[in-house]
Chain A
């Protein structure tokens, strides 16, 4: 089954649209070019088969408990200690996958962005 891939927040959607626009214009360079390539590859796999082995998809139980909905993590690349990660959930409809987060976040600076230990998170769902 092919899933529809949706973005959970406007800034993720804007990031995607910006990267695509630059790609179309031929102005995509460096880090952005690599990011679009990785994202496209992973999102296409998610669309066709979220459990594709190369994605190393698995549930993040602490986040699932926090939100009251199963949260999944897939890697943007393999065999890299600093591999980026995508966080996603099924829904809102049966054929949908919504991307709820990306790490590193686009606004994270190279050094010193603040991190939180997952074990310290509280549930926030009703």
Chain B
């Protein structure tokens, strides 16, 4: 894995740091005892794959949406809570 960028950063008055030009929006943050931090992109944020069945369902759903054929609002009242 090659280094793409290296720079110095300072926490602002609200303890925030600016990350420059990141490809990801969500990170898992690990804080270590010696003060160093790791930011790991949450790779599940943008799924690289999707099932063919789910995609087919979405194609059909969007078509129905455009034709005004979606369901009535669902009712949570019919669920028996444990």
Binding site for B on A (CB under 8 A): 4-13, 16, 20-21, 23-24, 26, 36-37, 40, 43-44, 56, 58, 60-63, 67, 69, 71, 73, 75, 81, 83, 85, 87, 89, 91-92, 96, 98-105, 107-108, 113-119, 121, 124-125
Contact = CB atoms under 8 A, between A and B. Distances in A.
A114 B48 CA distance: 14
Nearest to A99: B61
Contact of A108 (B25, B44, B51, B58): B51
A13 B46 contact: no
- Identify the interface centre among A10, A73, A103: most chain B CB within 10 Å of its CB: A103
Interface stretch (B5-13, B14-22, B71-79): B71-79
A121 B56 CA distance: 12
Given A6-B73, A37-B82, 16 more contacts: A6-B74, A7-B71, A8-B65, A8-B71, A12-B57, A73-B47, A81-B44, A92-B68, A98-B65, A100-B61, A101-B58, A103-B54, A108-B51, A116-B49, A116-B51, A117-B48
30 contacts: A5-B74, A6-B70, A6-B72, A7-B71, A7-B74, A12-B57, A20-B78, A37-B82, A43-B74, A56-B26, A56-B45, A60-B47, A69-B62, A71-B58, A87-B58, A89-B65, A96-B73, A98-B61, A100-B62, A101-B54, A101-B58, A103-B50, A103-B51, A105-B53, A114-B52, A115-B50, A118-B46, A118-B48, A118-B50, A119-B48
